[in-house]
Amino acid sequence: MRLSHSVGELGIPFVERYIDWAKHHTWFFPDGRKVHELSLKNNELVLPRWVKHNLGEKDIKEKILQNALFIEKEEGYDIYLVRYYPKNNENLKKFNEISYSEIPSDWSGTIDIYGFSDYHIQSFLVEEGKLTKKGVYNRKENNKENINTNSQTTCTTYWLDFDYYPIEGGVGSSQSIMVEICYSNLPDGGSSGPPESGGGGTGGNYPGGPGNDKDGMICDANTGQCIPLPGTEPYTSFGFPANPSDGDTFTVTYPDGNQITFTYNQSLDGWLMPEFQGLIDLGYTIDNAHTFPSFNGQLLTLIAWNAALEPTFIGEIIFGSAVIIMSTIYVYDLAKFYFATQDKLSNLEHCMKLYENCIENKPHLPCGKCLGYCDANGYWDSDCPDVMVK
Amino acid sequence: MNKLQKELINLFRNIISLSDQDALEKINEFKKLNSSWNDDSETEELLLHKEGLYLYRLNRLEESIKIYKGLIQKENNKKNTNFDILGTHYISILKSLFAMGKLNLVNKLSNNILKNYNFSWGTNLSILTYLIKSNSGTNLHKYINKINEIERNMGTPINLHENSNNKVLFLEKEFRRANQEFSNIIFEKNQNLLKKKLENYIKHEKVGFFRNQAQNYLNSLNRNSI
């Protein structure tokens, strides 16, 4: 696949991007949006000149990672470009060693976030895995590289270099634009400043600006969409063990106290819901199991839990040679399942117990209202508190 | 407890162990067989609420929403509208819309509800959570008073630097956790064990609201045992 786009606000005229499908991270933002981070094959990078100074010109394009974030939404994706600039040659990382959601604790450098059309959204300075400062590029004309510092911000002016290809597949030429960036400290960030330059030139230049963040999120003014800051802990597997063995069980406790115990099936590489495991225990087998793909730690169930989840048909469960078809098997993505069911599996029993106590101990309270609230939310209302006290 | 309440509790208790479809049928049977609830508004509304709840569980979301819309209209027509009941019905609608993936509608409705009504802080917490779940970039600045009220009532220590969205998500998570832990304790049948569990909960619970509730309950148990 190749991505085409228009000229960005900084005037960086890249026309196409090629995805390297072999390099792929997937996770969920804390709000449940699924994210695919994919490596971009091409080498047409935006290169701040301080990076060249710090890393040296040799093989520099191999030292910088340039990825695209595809964030699933109701229809289609929001797309961002993310560039990871190491502070120096001691901070070089491979694709599988760093991602937007997992910044290694030993990594220092800059993370630049761009919109799909290469307009700059935000830069972050990272010191040993922690975001310390943020800023936004502003284009400058006829300026010299310099640094201005006051107690709140450090403003830096420097060159951004990039390759320009006037014709697809043609010969490129190096182009440059001058930008200013004013870095401000992040509330929980350290006091460390920008990475020091490897020598000469701009001498430790690092960019900054007012920032496009809103309530701790990075927001794209062009689309109105926001994403969490780099390194925000992803919503991964709500506690499922990372490397389970066959037969391992894991119990998920929902916020309302309801529990489901899943059993890991190694041959399918999936977590079986109780009703599924129950049939396996009784001697049922899965028809054509050998033809199934690895389910990569997803949930397998015999019940279509929620139409909104769009269950995927994967096969049938049978009893030995009698070939009694028991049920269709569905597969669910762990996090999608969790987000879709955390309210749905509300603990009716729990709410009923409290309702009965309410009627018994507090007949003057509108107990029906409390039951309604409990059914809707999975917990007892703060306004119906002391149902245990007569 | 009157006869109707007893029958209603029996019904609700019995349907817990049934499949959602069977539970829904039982509710409808009860409605047909017991005409007495016709002059009991609370019973009628409870049955409708349960019907809406089971429709939701059966993914018949449009039908569920229709029932809750009817309940809202009914509540609004009353002389003394109970705003918390109204809020609860709105939450049920938000739940269904969310399950349908209609995030824009969830966002719009949550905003409208919060702008037009002043519910209890517990209800506000639920609605604010839906607002954030529907769009993580929503600016909560205009609801800062409601958020402060929730924080004050919950009595939970919180990092002042947290942004409003994270704060609300944190408070909601803490409220659920503390509520659940407290609820699990109060169903302990052994009185001595119950007192011990309550004492331990009071010592460790960070959410002041539930700590106080536990203390009240412990006090009442101690009073009764004198």
Q: Does any domain span residue A200? A: yes
- Per-residue pLDDT reduced to its tens digit, B112-126: 999 999 888 888 998
Q: Which of A316-320, B41-45, B186-190, B217-221 has the highest mean pLDDT?
A: B217-221
- Both A142 and A17 in one domain: the answer is yes
- Both A15 and A143 in one domain: the answer is yes
Q: What's the pLDDT at A244?
A: 85
Task: Tell me whether strands A270-272 and A298-301 are parallel, antiparallel or unpaired.
Answer: parallel
- The nearest alpha carbon in chain A to B160 belongs to A187
Domain boundary among A164, A198, A228: A228
Q: What's the pLDDT at A307?
A: 37
**Per residue of chain A (390 residues), what is the pLDDT tens digit?**
344 444 455 555 555 677 787 788 887 787 767 888 999 876 677 888 888 889 988 888 888 999 999 988 767 788 899 999 999 999 999 988 999 988 999 999 999 999 877 788 999 999 999 999 898 888 877 666 666 666 667 788 888 887 766 555 555 667 788 888 888 888 654 333 333 333 333 222 223 333 445 557 888 877 778 899 998 877 655 667 777 899 998 887 655 455 677 889 888 888 887 767 766 776 667 766 666 666 777 777 665 554 344 445 555 555 555 444 445 566 766 666 665 555 444 467 778 877 887 877 766 667 887 888 887 777 777 666 556 555
- Both A17 and A143 in one domain: the answer is yes
Answer yes or no: do A379 and B183 touch at CB < 8 A.
yes
- The Cβ-side half-sphere exposure at A11, using a 13 Å CA radius, reads 11
CB atoms within 10 A of CB A143: 13
Answer yes or no: do A379 and B56 touch at CB < 8 A.
no
Distance from CA of A22 to the nearest CA of B (A): 30
Q: Does any domain span residue A353? A: no
Q: What's the pLDDT at A326?
A: 46
Range 205-234 of A in CB contact (< 8 A) with B: 214-217, 219, 224-226, 228
What does the alpha-carbon distance between residue B81 and residue B166 come to, in Å, rounded to a whole number?
Answer: 33
- Tokens 């059309």 correspond to A117
Contact of B140 with chain A, judged by CB distance below 8 Å, is answered with: yes
Query: Long-range CB contacts (< 8 A, 24+ apart) of B141-146?
Result: B143/B114, B146/B114, B146/B121
Answer yes or no: do B120 and A383 touch at CB < 8 A.
yes
Q: What's the pLDDT at B160?
A: 58
Q: Does any domain span residue A390? A: no
- Within 8 A of B132 by CB-CB distance, chain A residues are 31
Domain total for chain A? 2
Q: Tell me which residue of B158, B150, B154 sits closest to B179, measured CA to CA.
A: B154
- Within 8 A of A340 by CB-CB distance, chain B residues are 99
Answer yes or no: do B99 and A340 touch at CB < 8 A.
yes
Distance from CA of A81 to the nearest CA of B (A): 19
- Both A22 and A165 in one domain: the answer is yes
Q: What's the pLDDT at B70?
A: 94
Q: What's the pLDDT at B207?
A: 92
Residue B110 or residue A314, greater confidence: B110
Q: Does any domain span residue A159? A: yes
- Both A87 and A20 in one domain: the answer is yes
Q: Does any domain span residue A379? A: no
- Both A218 and A254 in one domain: the answer is no
Contact of A371 with chain B, judged by CB distance below 8 Å, is answered with: yes
Domain boundary among A324, A341, A358: A341
- Both A139 and A51 in one domain: the answer is yes
- Per-residue pLDDT reduced to its tens digit, B139-177: 888 999 999 999 999 988 776 566 787 788 888 888 888
Q: Does any domain span residue A363? A: no
Q: How confident is the model at residue B208 (pLDDT cuts 50, 70, 90)?
A: very high
- The nearest alpha carbon in chain A to B43 belongs to A368
- Both A216 and A254 in one domain: the answer is no
Q: What is the domain range of residue A302?
A: 249-341
CB nearest B183 (choices: A224, A368, A380): A380
Supply the DSSP symbol for A359.
Answer: H
Residue A195, C-beta contacts closer than 8 angstroms, at least 6 positions apart: A50, A54, A87, A88, A108, A109, A110, A125, A204, A206
- Both A220 and A266 in one domain: the answer is no
Compute the Cα dihedral for A260, A243, B176, A388 and give only its sign: positive
Answer yes or no: do A375 and B49 touch at CB < 8 A.
yes
- Both A9 and A130 in one domain: the answer is yes
Range 307-326 of A in CB contact (< 8 A) with B: 307-308
Contact of B2 with chain A, judged by CB distance below 8 Å, is answered with: no
Q: How confident is the model at residue B109 (pLDDT cuts 50, 70, 90)?
A: very high
Contact of A370 with chain B, judged by CB distance below 8 Å, is answered with: no
Q: What's the pLDDT at B7?
A: 83
On whether the CB atoms of residues A380 and B183 are closer than 8 A, the answer is: yes
Q: How confident is the model at residue B81 (pLDDT cuts 50, 70, 90)?
A: confident
- Both A185 and A89 in one domain: the answer is yes
Q: Does any domain span residue A273? A: yes
Q: What's the pLDDT at A28?
A: 79
Contact of B81 with chain A, judged by CB distance below 8 Å, is answered with: no
CB nearest B137 (choices: A217, A256, A307): A217
- The nearest alpha carbon in chain B to A363 belongs to B1
User: How far, CA to CA in Å, does B180 sit from each of A254, A257, B50, B169?
Assistant: 10, 6, 22, 16
Domain boundary among A168, A194, A228: A228
- Both A262 and A164 in one domain: the answer is no
Range 237-296 of A in CB contact (< 8 A) with B: 255-257
Q: Does any domain span residue A223? A: yes
Answer yes or no: do B179 and A379 touch at CB < 8 A.
yes
Q: What's the pLDDT at B85?
A: 84
Q: What's the pLDDT at A339?
A: 56
- Within 8 A of B166 by CB-CB distance, chain A residues are 215-216
